[in-house]
Amino acid sequence: MKSLGPFEIDRIYCGDCVEMMTQMPDASVDLVVTDPPFAIDFRAKRSNYNRTQTRVLEGYNEIPQDQYYQFTVNWMNEVYRILKKTGSMYVFSGWTNLRDILNAIEEVGFVTLNHIIWKYQFGVYTKRRFVTSHYHILFVAKDEKSYKFNKIEHYPEDVWVIKREYWTGKIKTPTKLPVELVKKILLYSSDPEDVVLDPFIGSGTVAVVAKSLGRHFIGFEIVREYYEFALERLKDVQVEMFSGVKK
């Protein structure tokens, strides 16, 4: 099994991602896809999310707003170091933290390639402002002349309309990226056998999709309940015969 420092690929680990990434070798990862913590005093079991609260896992690890920028710079610095020259990163962000994410990207030295809008359906009621029904996805690279990009569509656009997934009757983490969304990213920006990293693995979707598409993966998660949840999801993943990916 190939290792990146003390970590084997095709595994996820429970712990602080910044501390763990410092132990990984330079230029060892092909792609990073991640949805970091919100810093919005997020409460997973709030009733306005239309969830059955007993099925939502506890333990969401929030970052204080006044620490969010430095927190972002810290983990992005490590990502920049361990990404290959041809590597790229997709970072998800709500509008409340977008300024910190964009400023950190510039400070660390990434080149912003696209500012993608992910439009989804969402049923939160608002009385005095518009309902937020989109996420920002920042597509960035180390080198704007050598990053990997597979043009799987003739005219790829920067607005993606993809529905959120609802796991009716199942235990779930409070936030979860749709498989369709992550698959699209991996097909555009990675090839079979590439190493895909998610520093904030959460429910494990990035690792699950990477495994299903014949990519290698590695991920970190500080909340043990989420880590164990992601481990269970990974057990039953089958590799797909999709876009040239071999079993």
* Distance in angstroms (rounded) separating the CA atoms of residues 124 and 116: 22
Please give the single-letter amino acid code of residue 187: L
User: What is the phi/psi pair of residue 48, to 5°?
Assistant: -75, 0
Residues (pLDDT < 50) of the chain are 40-60, 169, 241-247
Residue 242 resides in a domain: no
Residue 211 resides in a domain: yes
Could you tell me where the beta strands, DSSP code E, fall in the chain? 3-4, 7-8, 11-14, 29-34, 83-93, 111-119, 134-141, 159-161, 195-198, 216-221
Residue 66 resides in a domain: yes
Residue 56 resides in a domain: yes
- Residue 152: give the domain boundaries: 3-235
Residue 246 resides in a domain: no
Largest CA distance in the chain: 55
* Distance in angstroms (rounded) separating the CA atoms of residues 181 and 174: 17
* Distance in angstroms (rounded) separating the CA atoms of residues 32 and 186: 10
| pLDDT at position 38 | 72
| pLDDT at position 64 | 83
CATH number of domain containing 20: 3.40.50.150
Residue 78 resides in a domain: yes
Total domains, the chain: 1
pLDDT tens profile 167-188: 554 555 556 899 999 999 999 9
Question: Are the CB atoms for 152 and 180 separated by under 8 Å?
Answer: no
Residue 228 resides in a domain: yes
| pLDDT at position 175 | 63
Residue 247 resides in a domain: no
| pLDDT at position 62 | 63
Query: 145 is written with which tokens?
Result: 């002349």
pLDDT tens profile 130-175: 988 999 999 999 999 999 999 899 999 999 999 988 755 455 555 6
| pLDDT at position 172 | 52
Report the length, in residues, of the chain.
247
